[in-house]
Structure 1
Amino acid sequence: MATILYARVSTTEQTVAHQRTQAEAAGFRFDHVLIDDGVSGVSTRLVERPEGRRLFDMLRSGDTLVVRWLNRLGRNYEDITAVMREFMRRGVIVRTVIQGLTFDGASKDPMACAVRDAMIGFMAASAQAEAEASKEAQKAGIAHAKAREDAYLGRKPSYSREQFEDVVNRLGMGETVQAIAKATGITRQTIYRIRDNQAEAEAALARWAA
């Protein structure tokens, strides 16, 4: 039974090394590491990515797949749920680094399966909503910059896009600001700003082309 880390990054600011380091710091050890670098999760389904295809070929019953968050598998509700249904059907265990969630494809208990599938649906919907909000905020930031090329961009964000996604995901799962600050290294004040005005926090990244 193998443990496989799957990592995906779509921008130059995000790093695969960070995803692996974060997973190792959480106690995970891997037999294989598969990486899709510079691949969009919005426009490219997992099965269409080079290492994503390998993942489908490699995973067997009893294997464990580790991902930073389910949005590494996709940013579309239908795509994520279809992928997870296939992995659950195969008897694969999927574990997330953020929140340390476990989705057990080997479970036969109907109640446990119902809770598992409901959580998958929630996380898939959150991933798509986040992707759509990010796209709209980027468009707004770009439009603002084009309209006022000489405009003051404001203070450069103290967080990367990867950190921003991490904070949004953790807030969505109900973590406290203090716990998120400890886990991400971002100040509580910054997390409060992201929580209270996520669109502006995202737009700030877009204005600075982050």
Structure 2
Amino acid sequence: MRTVLYMRTSTRGQTIDHQLTQAQQAGFVIDEVVADAGESGISTTLAERPQGRRLFDLLREGDTLVVRWVDRLGRNYRDVSDNIRAFMDRGVVVRTVIHGMTFDGSIKDPMLQAVRDALLGFMAALSQAQAEATKEAQRVGIEHAKKAGEGDRKYRGRKPSYSRGTFNKVMEMLESKTGPTVIANATGLTVQTVLRITRNPEGAAAALTAWGE
């Protein structure tokens, strides 16, 4: 029986090492790491990712699959829920680093099964909603920057003290409910900068676009 950590990074602000460290700090002892880099969680299914496909061949009954969050396993509600159920059907336990969720197909009690399935559906739907909200914030930021540039191309405001990669990492850590002080320490930003991004992510994204980031 093995514990396999599957990781996906979809932006420059996300790193393989960061997700592995999170898993280890949560108490997981990882036997093997499987990782996809640069694969969009919204546009690419798990089965379409090179290492995502490998999971279906690698994992066996009794194994544990660890992921940072359920959104690592699909692009939307249907993809996430179907993949987790597929792993449970083959006897694989799926566990998350964030909030310590466990999805175990060996549960026989019908009431516990109902609770597990309801939780799975809710978390899969939440993952899709968060992904869509992030994508919309980025779209609004880009449009805002374009309109501002059309009105006065010379004025772009103060140059951001963060890069696109750092901004993406802040947004990723915010999704996992990480506090501003921890985010500041991890990204090298000041707490004030992290708070500004938190209060107005659309404006922060627009500032980066205005400066060509």
Normalising by the smaller structure, the TM-score range is 0.7 to 0.9
User: Is structure 2 residue 20 aligned with structure 1 residue 20?
Assistant: yes
Query: Residues 122 and 169 (structure 1 numbering): CA distance in 2 closer, same or farther, change over 3 Å?
Result: farther
In the other structure, the counterpart of 1:167 is 174
Query: Residues 116 and 184 (structure 1 numbering): CA distance in 2 closer, same or farther, change over 3 Å?
Result: farther
Query: Residues 181 and 46 (structure 1 numbering): CA distance in 2 closer, same or farther, change over 3 Å?
Result: same
User: Is structure 2 residue 179 aligned with structure 1 residue 181?
Assistant: yes
Segments of 5+ residues of structure 2 without an aligned counterpart are: 150-154, 185-190
Q: Is the 8 A contact 2:170 2:183 kept in 1?
A: no
1:181 positional shift: 2.2
The 2-side partners of 1:12 and 1:189 are apart by: 19
> Considering only CA atoms, is the larger Rg found in Structure 1 or Structure 2?
2
State how many pairs are aligned.
197
Q: Is the 8 A contact 1:26 1:97 kept in 2?
A: yes
Q: Is the 8 A contact 2:10 2:41 kept in 1?
A: yes
The 2-side partners of 1:181 and 1:138 are apart by: 22
1:72 positional shift: 1.0
In the other structure, the counterpart of 1:175 is none
The 2-side partners of 1:147 and 1:189 are apart by: 24
In the other structure, the counterpart of 1:10 is 10
Query: Residues 130 and 207 (structure 1 numbering): CA distance in 2 closer, same or farther, change over 3 Å?
Result: farther
Q: 1:93-136 deviations in whole A, cap 9, x for unaligned?
A: 11111111111122112112111111111111111111111111
Q: Is the 8 A contact 2:157 2:207 kept in 1?
A: no
Q: Is the 8 A contact 2:63 2:93 kept in 1?
A: yes
Superposed CA RMSD: 2.6
Q: Is the 8 A contact 1:10 1:41 kept in 2?
A: yes
SS of 2:121's equivalent? helix
The 1-side partners of 2:130 and 2:162 are apart by: 18
The 1-side partners of 2:196 and 2:119 are apart by: 26
What TM-score comes out, normalization by structure 1 length? 0.82
What TM-score comes out, normalization by structure 2 length? 0.81
The 1-side partners of 2:57 and 2:158 are apart by: 46
SS of 1:146's equivalent? helix
Q: Percent identity?
A: 51
Query: Residues 206 and 36 (structure 1 numbering): CA distance in 2 closer, same or farther, change over 3 Å?
Result: farther
Segments of 5+ residues of structure 1 without an aligned counterpart are: 171-179
In the other structure, the counterpart of 1:141 is 141
